[in-house]
Amino acid sequence: MHQAVFYQVYPQSFADSNGDGIGDLPGLISKLPYLKSLGVTALWLNPIFESPFGDAGYDISDFRKVAARYGTNEDAIRLFQEAHKLGLKVVLDLVAGHTSDEHPWFQSAASDPKSPYREHYIFTGDEPQQSMFGDSIPRTAQGEHFVANFLPFQPALRYGYKHPDPSKPWQLPPEHPACLAVRVELRDIMKFWLDLGCDGFRVDMAASLIRGPGDNTILARLWQGFRSWFDRDYPEAVLVAEWGNPIEAINAGFHIDFLLHFGEPAYTHLVGSPNEIIGNRRVPHVFFERSGEGDIRLFLDNYLKHYSATVGRGYISLPTGNHDFQRPRRGRDLADLRVLYAMLFTMPGTPFLYYGDEIGMRNIDGLPEKEGSMWRTGNRTPMQWEHGAPNLGFSTAPKKRLYLPVDPAKDAPTVSKQLADKASLLHLTRSLIALRRKHPGLGNDAEFRPVFAQSGRYPFVYERGTAATGRFLIAINPAAAPCVVDLPALGQARVLLAEGTKRAGTKLTLAGVSFAIFSLPEPARGRAVSRAS
């Protein structure tokens, strides 16, 4: 965990081995050496399980079976084994809060009042329910309403309510045997995959399990229970939350939580496109914007709140992107991404690199919806492997059979082109990850201290590490305008990696869109004492 750097694989869009137009596990296995060469240590795969794919696999109909389009359970086992040979861990997606309405549990529960799975779900009789987006949820064939967790076809699993309303008999307390039975199911699903060799889970909507308003104490207890079980039986395995509130998630026992486009506002003020609605917020300006009108404090104050409350107990992740929001390339070019990655890969916590962000894949706007993608289609397009190859090397299928279209631009970035170009974003990403892994003072655990972080001003400068781990100074200027900063520590600093910066004494001049990473000498305490004596 101390050195972990994750790579997120969107399985259907990563590598297609059999020419059916959809990425699959054998395809992913064939790309493991590439992933190893990036320097990442672990992979997170979006759901690979059997599903009607109404929400791209987040609607599971069999938790224990790999969807045929991705391969077989044997392929998954082979993936774990081959990854482990290369020292890579594999983390699966655990959709803990809901199933598909085609899951046999729900089919049985909805059609038979005596079903053994009846109590796994929350039927509300005549009381209508809404999905997360306010759509009304159709009744079952038997005429009953039920609670859904996200979209109408994703019935919520029953873990109980924080404060059950006595007038609503379906609101059971979390300690009710029916709710505890669902926890046992969830544990058995995790055990199934851990015993086959997976290394942990990213938990979908981890905060959704126990329902209703009120604080999350009981929810935290639920996850702490799973964490104690991990610590006892699978001490090497990792629990990553999709919570968006590291203080809560890490208190609940997760090893890692993200700052994201929803939940706590930090991430939305750092990355995003100006005036974009991210989650439910309109963000007029973000820090990584050439206008220079972003405000680092809007990110940093929230970040520090979570950092100081969790440091030493768990990790915050600032991902480059993910399958639910715009790629960082949206509204930016490759030069901007270089500066963004210089920051994301030198911050504390656990970096997550979304597939294709290492080459700066574009967000492909204007595509029709695919498998419930809604606003999320353009960030899920196929990985761009090879310049000049059919479908840029993703698949040999005819174009119309591809899961989603490949970036049609003439200058679409590809792995092959960027491998051949030492100045490419791919090489920079590798160098940043290598630097982080080489120097404990830049690693996941090392200390973090803002040095220059003023509201409305650029650059952002921070220090990492201690004398024991080595100390580092990082300066980041995403704005188009140059800026100058006086940094007393700069005098004896050694440049490790820099683009567009100049120093004179303690003054650092940063050109527009530039960054620098320095190592700082050990404080010369010993010598100072001997001189004084």
Q: What residues line the site for ligand NOJ (CB under 6 A)?
A: 55, 58, 95, 150, 204-205, 242, 323-324
Question: How far apart are CB 321 and Ca ion at their closest, in Å?
Answer: 24
Question: How far apart are CB 309 and ligand NOJ at their closest, in Å?
Answer: 24
Shortest-Cβ-distance residue relative to Ca ion:
24
User: Is 205 or 296 the residue whose CB approaches ligand NOJ more closely?
Assistant: 205
Contact between 101 and Ca ion per CB under 5 A: no
- Footprint on residues 14-33 left by Ca ion (CB under 5 A): 16, 18, 20, 22, 24
Question: How far apart are CB 441 and ligand NOJ at their closest, in Å?
Answer: 33
**For residues 251 and 465, what is the distance between their CA atoms, to the nearest angstrom?**
24
Residue 93 binding target from Ca ion, ligand NOJ, none, CB below 5 to 8 Å by type = none
Classify 95 as helix, strand or coil.
Answer: strand
Angle subtended at Cα 457 by Cα 452 and Cα 459, rounded to the nearest 5 degrees: 55
**For residues 66 and 484, what is the distance between their CA atoms, to the nearest angstrom?**
54
Nearest to 104 by CA among 115, 89, 96: 115
- 494 burial via Cβ count (<10 Å: 0-12, 13-18, 19+): exposed
Question: How far apart are CB 102 and ligand NOJ at their closest, in Å?
Answer: 15
Residue 24 binding target from ligand NOJ, Ca ion, none, CB below 5 to 8 Å by type = Ca ion
Question: How far apart are CB 252 and ligand NOJ at their closest, in Å?
Answer: 17
Contacts by 206-209, CB closer than 8 A, 24 or more apart:
206/96, 206/241, 206/242, 206/243, 206/249, 206/252, 206/254, 207/241, 207/243, 207/244, 207/245, 207/248, 207/249, 208/97, 208/149, 208/156, 209/96, 209/97, 209/157, 209/159
C-alpha atoms less than 13 angstroms from C-alpha of 90 in its C-beta half-sphere = 28
User: Is 192 or 375 the residue whose CB approaches ligand NOJ more closely?
Assistant: 375
- 319 burial via Cβ count (<10 Å: 0-12, 13-18, 19+): buried
User: Is 20 or 324 the residue whose CB approaches Ca ion more closely?
Assistant: 20
Residue 269 binding target from ligand NOJ, Ca ion, none, CB below 5 to 8 Å by type = none
Cα–Cα distances (Å) from 507 to 415, 432, 486, in that order, read 38, 24, 5
Question: How far apart are CB 115 and ligand NOJ at their closest, in Å?
Answer: 24
Residue 499 binding target from Ca ion, ligand NOJ, none, CB below 5 to 8 Å by type = none
**C-beta of residue 213 within 8 angstroms of C-beta of residue 225:** no
Residue 324 binding target from ligand NOJ, Ca ion, none, CB below 5 to 8 Å by type = ligand NOJ
User: Is 327 or 439 the residue whose CB approaches ligand NOJ more closely?
Assistant: 327
Question: How far apart are CB 69 and Ca ion at their closest, in Å?
Answer: 6
- Footprint on residues 23-82 left by Ca ion (CB under 5 A): 24
Residue 224 binding target from Ca ion, ligand NOJ, none, CB below 5 to 8 Å by type = none
In the complex, the residues that contact Ca ion under the rule CB under 5 A are 16, 18, 20, 22, 24
